Amino acid sequence: MARLTRSESQARTRAELIATARDLFLADGYASTSLERVAEEAGYSKGAVYSNFRTKKELGLEVIELIHATKFGEVTDLLAAGDSFEEQLERFQEWAERTVGDVGWTMLEFEFATVSRDDPALQAALVSSLGVVRGAVAAQVQTLADTVGIELPVPAEDAATGILSMGIGLGMQRAIDPSIPARLITDAVRLLVTLGKGPLAVRSAATP
């Protein structure tokens, strides 16, 4: 096996620290997890952590962005695997039942948002990160609309904001009461599509 270059070794160390921090933050919370523990669990020195991340907040932001990329990558893959609109929604529904309201993820998002309240730089970074997520959701919504041949009743960016807002709120409620159905967000997506102009809207209007 070829020996890793210095930059490759540094990249691997950074990725392993982020992955370890993600697991610890999700299991025990952000506030309860120290950088020292992240280093210990990952098998590195505390110096290795500080050489990659100036602060715990910087590491936390990387973890949040990794989780977002992972979760929305899952959604992209499952939507791409669906042959029809209803099959895509069914796959999304299954994902939502497993994911929306996950206690570790939901509480981490809330906890980190609270931490950013008195840190303008971190808050700006979170706003930027959320903007990336919103853009990804908007792209998925537009792709879905194009696939089924409908014209959205609102701009894709507004639709993405609405879906994210419902997802965040529903996630908070399901973290407390898992009996609340995740299908509410799937119903919202279906309503958005059937309110648009196109074959599904016509069929929906014609259905008794």
In the chain, the domains with their CATH numbers are: 1-54 (1.10.10.60), 59-197 (1.10.357.10)
Torsion of CA 71, 124, 165, 192, to 10 degrees: -80
pTM: 0.85
pLDDT digits (tens, 9 = 90+) for 108-141: 999 999 999 999 999 999 999 999 999 999 998 8
- pLDDT beyond 80 at 204: no
Mean pLDDT of the chain: 88
Q: What's the pLDDT score for residue 202? A: 43
- pLDDT beyond 50 at 203: no
For residue 82, name the pLDDT band (cuts at 50, 70, 90). Answer: low
For residue 2, name the pLDDT band (cuts at 50, 70, 90). Answer: low
User: Among 13-17, 74-78, 131-135, 173-177, which is the least confidently predicted range?
Assistant: 74-78
For residue 166, give the amino acid letter. M
Q: What's the pLDDT score for residue 208? A: 43
- pLDDT beyond 90 at 65: yes
Q: Say what percent of the chain tops pLDDT 90.
A: 62
